[in-house]
Amino acid sequence: MNTPKQTNRLSVQVVAVAGGIQFIKPMLVPRSQTVGWCANASGVYSLHPQLQGAKLGIWGKLTKPNTVVEEGDRIEIYTPATSKQKSKKMSEK
CATH architecture of 4-92: Roll (3.10)
16-20, 50-54, 67-71: range with lowest mean pLDDT: 16-20
Task: Return the closest-CA partner of residue 37 out of 80, 78, 67.
Answer: 67
* 69 pLDDT higher than 70: yes
Q: What is the largest CA-CA distance in the chain?
A: 55
Per-domain boundaries in the chain: 4-92
* 46 pLDDT higher than 70: yes
| Alpha-carbon gap, residue 55 to 1, rounded angstroms | 37
Of the pLDDT bands very low, low, confident and very high (cuts 50, 70, 90), residue 91 is low
Query: What's the confidence (pLDDT) of residue 86?
Result: 47
pTM comes to: 0.78
Q: Find the mean pLDDT for residues 56-80.
A: 96
